[in-house]
Amino acid sequence: MTVRAIRERIHDIAGIRITTSFVADAYWIADILADQGDLEVLTVKDYIASPKPNGYRSLHLIVQVPVYLSTHVEQVPVESQIRTIAMDFWASTEHKLSYKYEKNLPPAARAELDDAARVAHELDQRMERARSEIRPQAAPGGSGGLFPGRPGPAAPPTDGDAAG
């Protein structure tokens, strides 16, 4: 492969995974990255709203970031995965088991992982509801961002709220 071909085809030579406590925060962080002046969002894959068939949920963004070299600046694509703690636990476990069995999981193990994906999703929904009872979410689509109309993170605490 030539350097040019590598640049055209490889968009995840570097990556970062960000874990959040709440689904709304994953979208909020994606919007923050999109608003960052020195980053450019190249692609977005929303596996939270549209999970993969195996139950995988996460936001994937390919962002172009400046890398400062001694003589010039290179723009490098970096994959950002943003997901909740529950999504991350499930994805890490599913990945380890899939590779242990060389992607040929026994049917019972596949069924367990499918059910665990459902349970992780339900846990995220329950935690989101619990938080919204304590602190209402910010208004949807405040700055437009990548996901207009989605609720923002929880409103910041007022003086009478407990920290957290």
Contact 154, 137 (CB under 8 A): yes
What number of CA atoms fall less than 13 Å from residue 57's CA on the CB side?
Answer: 29
Q: Is 102 designated active site?
A: no
Token pair 């400046």: residue: 66
CA-nearest of 88, 5, 80, 71 to 46 is: 80
Helix intervals (H) in the chain: 3-9, 23-35, 85-100, 107-134
> Of residues 8, 74, 79, 102, which has the active-site annotation?
79
Q: Which residues are catalytic?
A: 79
